[in-house]
Structure 1
Amino acid sequence: MKRTLFKIAENFYVESRKNDICYRVTVDIKDWVTTEDWDFFFEFQDKNALSEGETNIVVTQLRPEASELFSERTFTTNLENEIAAAYFKQLSSDLNIELNGTKIKSKDVYVKVSDELSCIKKNTNVDGVDISVICGVTDRDWEDGGWYVICNGRLVAEADQSIATGWGMNGIPKYHADFAFFRGLIEFSCSDSSKLPWTTTKTGVDQDSKIYKAALYHMSTSMKPVTTFLRERAQEVTHKTEGKISDTPLLNAIKNASTVRIHDVPAENIKSIFERPERVLPAEDNNKMASVQYTVPIEQINLVKKSLNVTTNREVGEMTFNYYFGYECDNNE
């Protein structure tokens, strides 16, 4: 911060109050550079001039080149965006930053949740870096869909829809319109910032980081059931348009769910597997197909889902039926 002030200012002062001691350090750079001493001197101030814990940094005279840059409209816009990214998580909680009297807000990421529609969340630790992955669905928005990557509270990738966040690899389809409902957030936290998977400028993802490569696996396994749900939602709309089905449980689940910030999802709506309604399939015209329905305890079916590595009751039914048929019926035909 000191280097920045010396670069943009001719004069500035810093004042602060801590433990009821209030002081100010004033620097005239032209005078300061002529001295052999690199010491800074402070003056005590009336403690009532500031609130406890408050610090003010005031530039009283800008360098001409800095003044010209600051007067450009694009500079203010870019600075606001950079501050919003740098303090993404803090601004979404209780930090307040103002620029030219306007409060800066971070971009909120929203998901929709209900008793039948959840978010999926996974937590892990790789080489001392805490990793949290959470994803789900919300209202359709092409530009806002994708992954948001956070390193120590800083947003380093926003609405990423590229292979860098797993789209189009490891069995995940490329991002397209059907997936514009998807929202995912992955957060890396570590006291040793050198371990975090960000670029040297802290404005992008370091895809070569071993931490990030390990995290990609959890991102892919988390997003797979969500993209499956969204693909089936698109098929459901087609079937409804063609008059093959009358009910649209997947579309209704999204429409009727509550919208919340992804950081504020209630605990009861966060699951280790993606909970969603079963889809309705059109009846076959040749009447050679039939549905099989039965009821079992939720705990048992969740164990079977985990064993089969699937996410829906329908998949459990199909796979267990095929398993029985293959072992008990195939040889009897």
Structure 2
Amino acid sequence: MSEVTPDTLFGGPTKRFFVSMLTRDIELADAILDLVDNCIDGAMRSQPDFADKETPFKGFKASLTVTPEKFEISDNCGGIPADYIEEAFQLGRPNIKKDGDLPTVGMYGIGMKRAIFKMGKNATVYSNAKDGAFSVNYSSGWLDPENTEWDLPISRSEREEGVEGVQIQIPELKEQISKTFGNDSFINSLMADIQDHFGYLMQKGFAVSVNGIDLVPKTLVLHSAAHSAQNEIRSFDYTGNHDGVDIRVTVGFFRALVQETEIDKETKAPSESEAAGISVICNDRVILLGDRTMKTGWGDAGVPRYHPQFRAIAGLIEFRSNDAEKLPISTTKRGLDAGSDVYFVARKAVTEGLKTFTSFTNRFKGIEEEANQFFEKATRSDVKKEISLAEEHGVPVRGAVAKKYVPVLPEPTNKTIRNRISFVKAEDEVKAVSEYLFNDSSQKPAIVGAECFDRFLKEAKK
């Protein structure tokens, strides 16, 4: 700690703040994802021309071991170069422009340290790079919140033969972390998170394994016919640039329209397993997955609030910039700064896309089977790799450096306006009405409700 004179006050941090407090701001899975993200940054630094390749990360891999006894992550992503060592172990990055030529999302320089503080009683970081090798040890004494010592011992050596990369070992876990790592549900959830959040980087060749299991990427696929004069199922697509940030917004249907019986089921037991909603990615990292709230435009600016009938709609908001400060992202790398100017531009575009597909859904309400024939003609296309409607066929957006493609979707043959009637009744009451109407108590609630309406409609028309 700096010496305090009669005319000064110590304004620096305490060890307790970093070791005990800062770790409360991040979930355990997010802390681990931070470490995977650092591996990807290393892969970028090790090949300056990666942006020119279709699969620039092919051959690079992060391997995680997550057990009640230990945590370990190792990669072959080039190691930590000598001129990065000091900043890698400082709590906070003094030079946030150091990776200014890389599309990374790291700005604050706390990810690796915070993950170690959250999980371990001690830890060792080992790096082997082209310009040398070293190891740094976080001892239990150094990690003591009452310890005021900040200097870390480093052991340097010449580059060693073998893999150039980083290995972080935490051989002694905190008790609660050890219990969590022994839970299969947590491990399965962690693997799913990695596949979701790094799916677009894994699509470009980066590999990740957890406890020896190789993970597969998850990316958004939408129904989108090729551009033509015919009204078919296509995606809404927007591409532009705001303040040096490239923006891409794509919205569409990832599946055929939801049937009435599915809506009943979803209302009773909402599903979280499908891709419905809007996801946000920054420099190929997913920071918000399948959002169905006002944050991504639902229930605002003329867009209806999310409802199970819209479960076929999904979309992607993408931001790309070599200046990570301009990205709408928080310190956890998975939190969204929804108040930023660049996000406002993208959100305006996504609301237009949502209106297009919620309107289509409403027009085919009750006649979903008629709509679903159009899906058979539409190709399922990967959003990032195969959809470029705005770039190739879009029209300029007034007052912006942007182009957009608004699809003209099919219309129902019967254009009578339809309204959905939905209400909830006790199961035994529904069975009783079903028995009365059909002499069968097992009819589906939607059929029972429709029959009730049809009978009273006949009476009303007399």
For the aligned pair, the TM-score class normalised by the smaller chain equals 0.5 to 0.7
TM (norm. structure 2) is 0.50
More displaced 10-residue stretch of structure 1: 58-67 or 216-225: 58-67
Residues 71 and 236 of structure 1: is their aligned pair in 2 closer, same or farther, counting only changes over 3 Å? closer
The question of 1:108 aligning with 2:229 is answered: no
Asked if 1:203 is matched to 2:334, the reply is yes
Partner residue, 2:280: 149
CA contact (8 A) 1:138 1:254 kept: no
CA contact (8 A) 1:146 1:160 kept: yes
* Residue in structure 2 matched with residue 134 of structure 1 by the alignment: 250
Give the Å deviation of 1:87. 2.6
Q: For this pair of structures, how many residues does the alignment match?
A: 268
Give 5+ residue unaligned stretches, structure 2. Answer: 1-111, 227-231, 259-270, 395-404, 417-462
State whether structure 2 residue 128 is matched by structure 1 residue 16.
yes
Question: Which position in structure 1 is the counterpart of 2:295?
Answer: 164
Correspondence list, 1:42-57, <5 A: 42-44=156-158, 46-47=160-161, 49-50=162-163, 54-57=164-167
Q: Is the 8 A contact 2:138 2:152 kept in 1?
A: no
User: Structure 2: how far apart are the matches of 1:3 and 1:236?
Assistant: 53
Q: Quickly say closer, same or farther: Cα 1:229–1:99, change in 2 above 3 A.
A: same
Deviation at 1:55, TM superposition (A): 0.9
**Could you tell me whether the CA contact under 8 Å between 1:148 and 1:159 is conserved in 2?**
yes
Residue 112 and residue 228 in structure 1: after superposition, are their counterparts in 2 closer, same or farther (change >3 A)? Answer: same
Structure 1 distance, partners of 2:242, 2:138, is: 48
Q: Deviations over 1:184-210 (max 9, x none)?
A: 100122333333223443333333223
Please, what is the CA RMSD of the aligned residues?
3.5
Partner of 1:291: none
- 1:202-221 matches, cutoff 5 A: 202-221=333-352
Asked if structure 1 preserves the Cα contact closer than 8 Å seen for 2:246 and 2:320, the reply is yes
Deviations 1:111-161 (A, max 9, x none): 012244322211122233221101111214774212111123222222112
Aligned to 2:20: none
Which digits, 9 at most, give the CA deviation of each residue in 1:49-88, with x for residues without a partner? Answer: 32xxx31405273245354553343443454344345434
Secondary structure of 2:241's counterpart equals strand
Match of 1:189 among 307, 320, 325: 320
Structure 1 residue runs of 5 or longer lacking an equivalent are: 241-247, 285-333
| Alpha-carbon separation, structure 1, partners of 2:132 and 2:379 | 48
Percent identical among aligned pairs is 24
231 and 93 in structure 1: CA distance in 2 versus 1, 3 angstrom threshold: farther
With over 3 angstroms needed to count, the CA separation of the structure-2 counterparts of 1:27 and 1:158, relative to structure 1, is closer
1:169-318 aligned within 5 A: 169-234=300-365, 236-237=367-368, 248=370, 250-267=371-388, 271-272=393-394, 273-276=405-408, 278-282=410-414
Decide whether aligned partners of structure 1 residues 164 and 271 sit closer, same or farther in structure 2, where only a CA change above 3 A counts. farther
Between the aligned partners of 2:325 and 2:318, the Cα distance in structure 1 is: 15
Residue deviations 1:214-236, cap 9 Å, x none? 32211112232222222223354
Residues 221 and 381 in structure 2, CA contact (< 8 A), matched pair in contact too: yes
Alpha carbons 1:132, 1:188 under 8 Å: kept: yes
Q: CA deviation at 1:12?
A: 2.9
Who is 1:316 aligned against? none
Checking the alignment, whether the CA contact within 8 Å between 1:179 and 1:230 is kept in structure 2 is: yes
CA distance, structure 2, for counterparts of residue 171 and residue 62 of structure 1: 53
